[in-house]
Amino acid sequence: MAKKNTYNSVAVRATAADKVFNICVTIFMVLLLIILIVPIWSTIALSFRPPAYIGSYLEGMFLVPWKWSAGAYKALLGNQGFLNSFWNSIKIMSMGVVTALFLTIPMAYALSVKGVPGKKWITIFIMIPYVFNVGVVPTYLLISRLGLTNHLPSVFMPVALSTYNMIIMRQFFEGIPNDLRESAFIDGCNDIQIMFKIILPLSKAIIMTIGLYYAVAFWNDYMRSLLYLQKSALKPLPLLLRDILIGTSMNDNLEANAFGTAPIEAIKAASVFISAIPMIIAYPFIQKYFTKGTLAGSVKG
């Protein structure tokens, strides 16, 4: 009869140094959490500040909810200029992500395939503008001569193909077993069929991750919008936020008249909070792909 192997379980006791370390880490994380939460909470509380509020900035952070006022949000959502800018940002982000992925995915796949003629030189050619930035003036002259000024594509077209994102995606594609490609070739598939039927279904994590990178970049883009979009009807949300945030220093009555009787400070806070809502909504749906896509794309499998 076989004997059962028994093992004595030994409990590892935390030393005094371990306890001190755990306490220090806990305190640090709590302080870090406070540092992150306080600005967010102060922005939310400020955005609900009533017009007749009298008190200090610190007292305003502790207003009870039944004293809050949604006047700033009503003023923003009822302002056609704000809604138009919000819609312009949605269009820039949507068209930008689609265009960027349309360019990044084929480039990354082509450079991940072994034996591609001139692969080394193509990689060097792509890395040159990544290392040496051409600058604002040449880019502006190019966009102007192409006739893209005062068109929304001028915001995302110059950066539609990010070298950094392409390299991460290429590393992910290189981590996919080459046996799958060879089996598909034997079955009669070409490179395009392999990319759409085999590679892309296995690459949801990296596609969602890179898509999130592009979406955040296009949503927050400010400089290119300022350079290439002069028409007020094409103004995206970052430019409108800039006008709101510095409006009181330029003209004390400009933004107050544009958004009704809501306090200008509440208007500023509400505009900042509303501008972050799309990313807040999108991130939980992409979070499950984010870590997997980033790690798998950064380290070759």
Confidence of residue 293 (pLDDT cuts 50, 70, 90): low
**Per-residue CA distances from 168 to 104, 164, 207, 235, 295 (Å):** 10, 6, 10, 32, 9
Question: Which comes out higher in pLDDT, residue 300 or 223?
Answer: 223
More confident residue, 64 or 242: 242
**Does 135 or 63 have the greater pLDDT score?**
135
Q: 297: pLDDT confidence band, cut at 50, 70 and 90?
A: very low
Residues 6+ apart with CB under 8 A from 152: 88, 91, 92, 95, 229, 234
pLDDT for residue 96: 93
Class of the domain covering 74-298: mainly alpha
The pLDDT tens digits of the residues spanning 114-173 come to 877 888 888 888 888 778 877 788 888 888 898 888 999 989 988 888 888 888 888 888
- For residues 76, 92, 88, 268, the Cα torsion angle rounded to the nearest 10 degrees is 20
Q: Which residues contact 237 (CB under 8 A, 6 or more apart)?
A: 85, 86, 88, 89, 219, 275
Whether pTM > 0.75 for this model: the answer is yes
- Domain residue extents for the chain: 16-69, 74-298
Q: Looking at the predicted structure, is the pLDDT value of residue 40 above 70? A: yes
Q: What is the percent of the chain where pLDDT is above 70?
A: 82
Q: Report the C-alpha gap between 241 and 275 in whole angstroms.
A: 9
Contact (CB, 8 A) for 97 and 219: no
Mean pLDDT of the chain: 80
Contacts 24+ apart (CB under 8 A), 186-195: 191/109, 191/113, 195/105, 195/106, 195/109
